Chains A and B, each alone.
Chain A
């Protein structure tokens, strides 16, 4: 454990009146890695980011970001980080280039350096063609790229990305993932929040699952999958009554139920012994199960196993898991 930590938080708590948003969150992110805080809407992801970025004071707990205390060394923290929030922090009535030059000037670059930096960033984020257009005319993906570019006018040591791909179409999302991957290549620490399991799985070195203001699990994507759900047995049933019978027998072990397709899944270690025993248990007469399949668990399964609900909207997730 010799690596220095870029973000280190212990016991962060925050409430608004009687509503507890964070109930004691611990986080440790080694330098130069991608960390993902994964959880559903309202889990406390944005609150955590805002506290770490010194925009919000926690009620309890301490945190150090880039080696500085967020309460006592706010100014140094602010010099070491950049934040890309959920809502594009750029002016729609300014052009892409003007936005970047403004941010570069505010970051302390002189006029000429700001102009040069803006041009570099526009090029790097594939926005040169749109540089002189007002941001109001940009697509969602372009806006996010510009927003991210704006947070990179000076090289921060820790960059916070709060749901960088929420609301983007699949192609823009892929482009964003590539950008994040490149950032880490340049030595930055990336702190990313997302409600997409696939995103955390793809990008993060380490994930913390957060639900209702608590970290419910942490580890690498592979560890989490292995620890909590490993393999998943998917059963396709012959008819509605068979489906109901099997779901009843599985009880709380049933995950990803889908009545429309008469399918239900449950966790397994993947051994023949366990699968045979499971099949015998839920289908003693050997008439209910038409087909079965064994899948390697997804992070959805982990999430479900831990919290009893999926990370994103329930109807959508259960339908296509």
Chain B
């Protein structure tokens, strides 16, 4: 446990000192929000103000992008000599990776606060009590945790940081064919099935529902099941892969 805390300290420090990555993590989400609201928003009819519709989607999209950073930094760690030192000191893989995951959560928390702030400035009006906010934050946290652990596993699996970054492209694209940016009804029929049953949709629907005081239905359970499943699978995979690297 103390190893994990030390690793968290390490990764948060490394993360705040990587200025370019930090800037990207903070400002890309805001740019995307403004892009969606002002460029695409006018052309998309969601029945509400578009900014109100799109905020959860932008947050999830950015969590996806940010997970690429985790995959790349894990992969860089694996290439450098420091992992050998950690291993020869008998530090476990889950401790090492927890550091990266915690740093990612910190980055996401900062960018989410920033996105919400800007969204409020440009007309986002949530209608949620403290409990609903808590719920929304919890679901977002579960999502970030799940895809970051997945990214960490990918970082272990990838042979080079470039490859790691490539793999996560897929994660970053997942929010597009979901209800994050446009209503699923407007998609071609063959895509609707996928869009309705992929993890981003229940997460988006839950967060949106909680923030706007709309019925959430089963979406919350689906969201938690997806996130829990992905996270559990990724943690186990990571632990195995970390050991395996001792060939």
Q: Which residues of B contact A53 (CB under 8 A)?
A: 84, 88
Q: Distance (Å) between the CB of B102 and the closest chain A CB?
A: 15
Inter-chain contact A78/B82, CB cutoff 8 Å: no
Inter-chain contact A83/B82, CB cutoff 8 Å: no
Q: Distance (Å) between the CB of A114 and the closest chain B CB?
A: 9
Whether a CB of chain B sits under 8 angstroms from the CB of A126 is no
Q: Which residues of A contact B9 (CB under 8 A)?
A: 102
Inter-chain contact B88/A54, CB cutoff 8 Å: yes
Residue of B at shortest CB range from A147?
Answer: B81
**Those of A72-130 within 8 Å (CB) of chain B:** 75, 78-79, 81-83, 85-91, 93-94, 98, 102-103, 105-107
Whether a CB of chain A sits under 8 angstroms from the CB of B45 is no
Q: Which residues of B contact A81 (CB under 8 A)?
A: 88
B78-109 Cβ-contact flags toward A at 8 Å (1 or 0): 00111011111111000000000000000000
Inter-chain contact B10/A89, CB cutoff 8 Å: no
Q: Within the complex, which residue of A56, A91, A151 is in contact with B246, where a contact is CB–CB below 8 Å?
A: A56
Whether a CB of chain B sits under 8 angstroms from the CB of A57 is yes
**Those of A48-84 within 8 Å (CB) of chain B:** 50, 53-57, 75, 78-79, 81-83
Inter-chain contact B13/A55, CB cutoff 8 Å: no
Whether a CB of chain B sits under 8 angstroms from the CB of A173 is no
A50 to B84, CA, bound (A): 9
A105 to B1, CA, bound (A): 12
Q: Distance (Å) between the CB of A222 and the closest chain B CB?
A: 33
Q: Which residues of A contact B86 (CB under 8 A)?
A: 106
Interface range, B side: 20 to 34
Inter-chain contact B14/A94, CB cutoff 8 Å: yes
Q: Which residues of B contact A150 (CB under 8 A)?
A: 85
Q: Within the complex, which residue of A79, A88, A89, A93 is in contact with B90, where a contact is CB–CB below 8 Å?
A: A79
Whether a CB of chain A sits under 8 angstroms from the CB of B18 is yes
Inter-chain contact A90/B246, CB cutoff 8 Å: no
Q: Within the complex, which residue of A75, A83, A102, A151 is in contact with B10, where a contact is CB–CB below 8 Å?
A: A102
Q: A85-B81, A87-B80 are in contact. Are A56 and B10 (CB under 8 A)?
A: no
Q: A91-B82, A93-B18 are in contact. Are A98 and B13 (CB under 8 A)?
A: yes
Inter-chain contact B90/A75, CB cutoff 8 Å: yes
Q: Which residues of A contact B81 (CB under 8 A)?
A: 85-89
Q: Distance (Å) between the CB of B94 and the closest chain A CB?
A: 14
B120-141 Cβ-contact flags toward A at 8 Å (1 or 0): 0000000000000000000000
Whether a CB of chain A sits under 8 angstroms from the CB of B186 is no
Inter-chain contact A91/B88, CB cutoff 8 Å: no
Q: Which residues of B contact A57 (CB under 8 A)?
A: 246-247
Inter-chain contact A106/B89, CB cutoff 8 Å: yes
Inter-chain contact B80/A89, CB cutoff 8 Å: yes
Inter-chain contact A106/B82, CB cutoff 8 Å: no
Whether a CB of chain A sits under 8 angstroms from the CB of B3 is yes
The majority secondary structure among interface residues of chain B is helix
Whether a CB of chain B sits under 8 angstroms from the CB of A236 is no
Query: Interface size (A, Cβ < 8 Å)?
Result: 30
Q: Which residues of A contact B247 (CB under 8 A)?
A: 56-57
Q: Which residues of B contact A86 (CB under 8 A)?
A: 81
Inter-chain contact A83/B84, CB cutoff 8 Å: yes
Inter-chain contact B10/A91, CB cutoff 8 Å: yes
Q: Within the complex, which residue of A50, A87, A88, A93 is in contact with B13, where a contact is CB–CB below 8 Å?
A: A93
Q: Which residues of A contact B90 (CB under 8 A)?
A: 75, 78-79
A56 to B245, CA, bound (A): 9
Inter-chain contact A90/B82, CB cutoff 8 Å: yes
Inter-chain contact B246/A55, CB cutoff 8 Å: yes
Q: Which residues of A contact B246 (CB under 8 A)?
A: 54-57
Q: Distance (Å) between the CB of B54 and the closest chain A CB?
A: 35
**Those of B193-247 within 8 Å (CB) of chain A:** 246-247
A54 to B243, CA, bound (A): 12
Q: Which residues of B contact A93 (CB under 8 A)?
A: 13-14, 17-18
Q: Which residues of A contact B24 (CB under 8 A)?
A: none
| Of B10, B14, B86, most A-chain CB atoms within 10 Å | B10
Q: Which residues of A contact B91 (CB under 8 A)?
A: 106
Residue of A at shortest CB range from B89?
Answer: A106
Q: Distance (Å) between the CB of A14 and the closest chain B CB?
A: 9
Whether a CB of chain A sits under 8 angstroms from the CB of B2 is yes
Whether a CB of chain B sits under 8 angstroms from the CB of A134 is yes
Inter-chain contact A105/B88, CB cutoff 8 Å: no
Inter-chain contact A82/B88, CB cutoff 8 Å: yes
Inter-chain contact A78/B89, CB cutoff 8 Å: yes
Residue of A at shortest CB range from B80?
Answer: A87
Q: Distance (Å) between the CB of A113 and the closest chain B CB?
A: 13
- Known contacts A53-B84, A75-B90, A93-B13; 9 additional CB pairs below 8 A are A54-B88, A78-B90, A83-B88, A91-B82, A93-B17, A94-B10, A102-B6, A106-B3, A151-B85
Closest 8 CB pairs of A and B: A89-B81, A87-B81, A89-B85, A78-B90, A93-B17, A83-B88, A85-B81, A89-B82
B residues within 8 Å of A by Cβ? 2-3, 6, 9-10, 13-14, 17-18, 80-82, 84-91, 246-247
A-B contact list, 23 entries, CB within 8 Å: A54-B88, A55-B88, A78-B90, A79-B90, A82-B88, A82-B89, A83-B85, A85-B81, A85-B84, A85-B85, A89-B80, A89-B81, A89-B85, A91-B82, A93-B14, A94-B13, A98-B13, A102-B9, A102-B10, A105-B2, A105-B6, A134-B17, A150-B85
